[in-house]
Amino acid sequence: MTELKTTAARMVAEARARIEEIDTADLIARADDPDLVIVDIRDIRERKQGLIPGSVHAPRGMLEFWIDPESPYFREVFGQDKTYILHCAAGWRSALATATLNDMGFACAHLRDGFQDWEAQGGPVERPEG
């Protein structure tokens, strides 16, 4: 087996040290803010289990392409003058994604403890049919 130069946990810790993290209670309180875009980077299968109402789905694998105005995959939702908060299930993937987008020059933060904590703290959850 190849020895890794770093671990996923270390990468997440390094990302968290340089990005803005949002507490679950704070995001629940701000969820209705029209200047806020909550971006769900989880896999579509995870999202089918429950989602934050009004959140935008942008799978982590396409995120960099969707936010880049020069990309053929650019999505207009990311061209607005809004506050963007990314989330995943537990906060690891969204920490890495936030650091990457910040490196690209795209201002965003992430939900520190992810959707699992959102749900545990009583944040509104939509259950898609099907």
109-111 and 83-87 beta bridge pairing: parallel
Q: Can you tell me the distance from the alpha carbon of 4 to that of 102, in angstroms, rounded to the nearest whole number? A: 25
What pTM did the predictor assign? Answer: 0.95
Instruction: Kindly report, residue by residue over 5-53, the tens digit of the pLDDT.
Output: 999 999 999 999 999 999 999 999 999 999 999 999 999 999 999 999 9
Looking at CATH, the fold of the domain delimited by 8-120 is given as Oxidized Rhodanese; domain 1 (3.40.250)
